[in-house]
Amino acid sequence: MLSDILVPMDDSEQAGRALEYALENNPDAEVTVLHVVGVPSMMMGDAVGLTLEDDLDDAAAERAAGVFERAREIAAERDREIETTVGIGHPARNIIDRAEAYDAVIIGSHGQDWSRATRQFLVGNVAETVSKRASIPVTIVR
């Protein structure tokens, strides 16, 4: 039985489905939603934008607020509470680095609605990378 689950989320439909799956199939588990900001891109836009902020932690929390609001709504619909945490940098690396503190990772099959080729080129397939490199079980939800 799982007691601590990490659910990485962005604003994609698949990420929402992963959270729904985690909450519905693990009613007694503590669920933590992770949102990673400052995602590297070809032009380093988001990552560079964060480094220019006066307070990096506040800026990251502000960028994660919409995702966390949606996550809390999903949890409330199921009469559950969740924890939230913000990562900064590359999503797969953040998830893998944090994974050891949890019993499992439940992640959406793919993130933001970019084309597959663009997603692979810019940030790689996060779910695939996490499933190959995490030291704990990973469930990929479509």
Spatial distance between the Cα atoms of 50 and 53, rounded to a whole number of angstroms:
5
Cβ-based neighbour number of residue 56 at 10 Å: 14
- pLDDT at position 48: 47
Spatial distance between the Cα atoms of 80 and 74, rounded to a whole number of angstroms:
9
Q: Which domains does the chain have, with CATH numbers?
A: 4-141 (3.40.50.620)
Spatial distance between the Cα atoms of 108 and 85, rounded to a whole number of angstroms:
17
Q: Enter the pTM of the model.
A: 0.84
Give 25-79 pLDDT, tens digit per residue: 999 999 999 999 875 554 444 544 555 555 777 888 998 999 999 999 999 999 9
Largest CA distance in the chain: 43
Q: Which residue has the tokens 């506040």?
A: 58
